[in-house]
A and B are shown apart, each in its own frame.
Chain A
């Protein structure tokens, strides 16, 4: 092959154009994208070698429309890249599009979306989960190599991974820089990967993690290659099984499957013990009060004027921004702004916002206590399998919120967690949730990898 031909790197260009065509087909069937660009930017030289990566639409991509699933940003093109995307590009990744989500992360089924609602490839009448529904949908449906960049505040990586039979890794809070992430709840937002296998998410975490001076909440951890933890070895690993996570609200069939998974790990050399996390029952209200209080301030930014949706400039400021926000926000966003504003108003602030912060400390202590004795906690990821869209429509908002019961506590505490497929109920995937102590991604990756490899060998 002549040098000039080699340098032209046509193979990557061809590959990417095939990927694009696949994406177009998948979009027609399952709608995972909000923005699917006509052409992909060619990759830089790096260890990802042009690997396709999709990005959840709340993560800023320079020059590529970023909406966070909302109408209020329908025309917004960021002038800068988020750090995570910057690192992916630097490593040779190719951004193939922006995936759909619940508006600003407000939801568990990706149905609170101002754009296309993603459909579960296992059953298109059912939800992909949320809020990173589009990301998980694409991972599940794509047969080309691909890893999705997603985000979790209360379980938005774990939930869709569980519903779509994919692997979702939520890193320790602060492990990945939030520079460029459109905030939902600043003290709980985490960027993380969704992939087809544990290897994929371990690889992606290695690329995007590490200290970023632009984000003061990012942890000063050294860059490491998390693939080094991918050993099929769990001998002596102590698993804690929190009994509160197997309560009445969880589907019996799901509980059975998850216990089967735990027993399987035991057969491979791990030990387990049932434990109690007593503050679990307060985790849902604590989460929602804190998240919504923070979100109601974060969303105050969006008032027209500087970027995003704009309306005719008439009347005073209040009249102007009210017009923009009335039209630009969906119903769930409005609901959460009102709830969040209420919880931090003078006269209620102490009872709700400040109290929730104190409860959060108790929840963190529950986990820290458990991790003194146990290395990994195991539980179901979601209490149900992916619901049908008509079922979702009949749910009251509070019932929707309660779906997060198993994921909010670890998200509140900022500990790392991974959801891996552990079987099917009624033909729909079920996720096993493995949670680790702060900065122990290595440990949960190892256990997850062992489980996955064993499952592969069995099946």
Chain B
């Protein structure tokens, strides 16, 4: 069945203060209603004041999404009575948003070709408060608690045209978008609730169903898949899909109809007359343009060309800007494919295990260069190198120092090796006999025992050579 999906995603901007007041944006883990002031609580007589950095961030986003930026923009009041809006109106943008008419290209690996998702508009608005439903979810709660700590956090809303043909495409789009936004330094996907999606889905040209407030990446595909299935079943059983708004419940994985709400909620938009019009000059835009770094897609292409990496490897590397930069630092002195493996597989694995961002460690490319040089010169084994890397992440210093501390420097002292071999031959008499009677497996076993004695620090090649000679005698 032909599927049409359009989305509205709300991303929280990582400015220091809220969109219209000086309260901090670091609202998580604070006591309820502690992170508020008279402005974000909507006290009578209070007036909003625009956070210029939020506009800077919005403009950067619009540029990265190839949009037309409005020369003059203003804010509007979206008015409705609901406990999560402290003024019972949301300051948003209606007639003239920050930007329009852009696109983001996604690559569906399965289909192998790129697709442009058109972006209808990008605008700024304030986040409402958090509602905590006690005794169930929005449809079953006994009562609701309101926490205004989040009220007024800057949101950038990105609205797409209904260009998606599958939930998978939506997931790819969101990942791509999130990476770009992280590159711009305006967003952090690890913050809980920093990305929320409303989706509009229709099947076979039928009515649009809106699924609201899907929070986080992993749920979007699930929610959309469920909804498509639900609609399919209705259509197949001859029923009509009626236009409605639904809510996705992450714990059960289903979408549910919200209690009777007007279809086109009556917002009665007027201008936000406490805020003057904002003129976005070419100068302003150009200044910000200079601050935009090389974006993921461009970086990926450059990595393929400059370092000879395959597209998949390049893609993984650019998914995280810090890691990509780190890789380039290492690739200055280490063979790029090796650098890529060590960064995207080994280092990333360790970071993921500890739940760390690269910037949270003090690890520098020189550390890894030195480590890989030690490996190259065979002073350490692969296994030791990985061990040292774990330690480097924890406490970055000279890899050679760590190797010595942990006793991992490769033993090249032949006397030590001979000694270990002697001891093993003495204790493993059966294996020696097996080898002498032609069983190759026994040799490997003996090598293993020698390595054990040397705690894996010897060059296996050297051990095998010396052992073979010894056993011949």
**A144 proximity list for chain B (CB < 8 A):** none
Contact of B81 among A300, A306, A346 (CB under 8 A): A300
B44 with A297: CB separation less than 8 A: no
B81 with A321: CB separation less than 8 A: yes
- Whether a CB of chain A sits under 8 angstroms from the CB of B49 is yes
CA A183 to CA B38, docked complex, whole Å:
15
- Whether a CB of chain A sits under 8 angstroms from the CB of B10 is no
Chain B nearest Cβ from A448, distance in angstroms: 29
Contacts of A297-345 to chain B: CB distance below 8 A: 297, 300-303, 305-307, 317-318, 321, 341, 344-345
B44 with A345: CB separation less than 8 A: no
Contact string, B386-430, partner A, CB cutoff 8 A, digits 1/0? 000000000000000000000000000000000000000000000
**A321 proximity list for chain B (CB < 8 A):** 81
**A216-B50, A300-B88, A303-B88 given; A349·B44 CB < 8 A:** no
A297 with B268: CB separation less than 8 A: yes
- Whether a CB of chain A sits under 8 angstroms from the CB of B43 is yes
Stretch at the interface among A47-55, A73-81, A93-101, A130-138: A73-81
Chain B: interface secondary structure?
Answer: loop
**B81 proximity list for chain A (CB < 8 A):** 300, 303, 317-318, 321
**A185 proximity list for chain B (CB < 8 A):** 273
Contact of A216 among B86, B144, B275 (CB under 8 A): B275
Contact string, A219-240, partner B, CB cutoff 8 A, digits 1/0? 0000000000000000000000
**A346 proximity list for chain B (CB < 8 A):** 264, 266-268
CA A93 to CA B266, docked complex, whole Å:
46
Q: Which of B42, B50, B86 is most buried by chain A, counting CB atoms within 10 A of its CB?
A: B42
Contact string, B141-174, partner A, CB cutoff 8 A, digits 1/0? 0001010000000000000000000000000000
**B383 proximity list for chain A (CB < 8 A):** none
**B89 proximity list for chain A (CB < 8 A):** 297, 300
Number of A positions contacting B (CB below 8 A) = 45
B270 with A353: CB separation less than 8 A: yes
**B86 proximity list for chain A (CB < 8 A):** 301, 306
CA A215 to CA B274, docked complex, whole Å:
8
**A300-B89, A305-B83 given; A79·B276 CB < 8 A:** no
- Whether a CB of chain A sits under 8 angstroms from the CB of B342 is no
Contact string, A427-456, partner B, CB cutoff 8 A, digits 1/0? 000000000000000000000000000000
A179 with B47: CB separation less than 8 A: yes
**B48 proximity list for chain A (CB < 8 A):** 216
Chain B nearest Cβ from A212, distance in angstroms: 9
**A60-B44, A178-B47 given; A301·B270 CB < 8 A:** no
Contact of A349 among B41, B50, B269 (CB under 8 A): B269
- Whether a CB of chain B sits under 8 angstroms from the CB of A108 is no
B47 with A215: CB separation less than 8 A: yes
Given A296-B79, A300-B87, 9 new contacts (CB under 8 A)? A68-B44, A80-B45, A213-B49, A215-B274, A297-B77, A297-B79, A305-B146, A345-B266, A346-B267
Chain B residues near A (Cβ < 8 Å): 38, 41-50, 77, 79, 81-83, 86-89, 144, 146, 264, 266-271, 273-276
26 contacts between A and B (CB under 8 A): A59-B45, A60-B45, A78-B44, A80-B45, A178-B274, A179-B46, A180-B45, A182-B45, A183-B45, A183-B274, A215-B47, A216-B275, A217-B47, A217-B275, A217-B276, A296-B79, A297-B89, A300-B88, A301-B87, A302-B44, A317-B82, A317-B83, A317-B144, A318-B81, A341-B268, A349-B269
Instruction: Give 9 closest A-B pairs by Cβ, nearest first.
Output: A300-B88, A186-B273, A187-B273, A344-B268, A60-B45, A180-B45, A182-B44, A297-B79, A186-B274
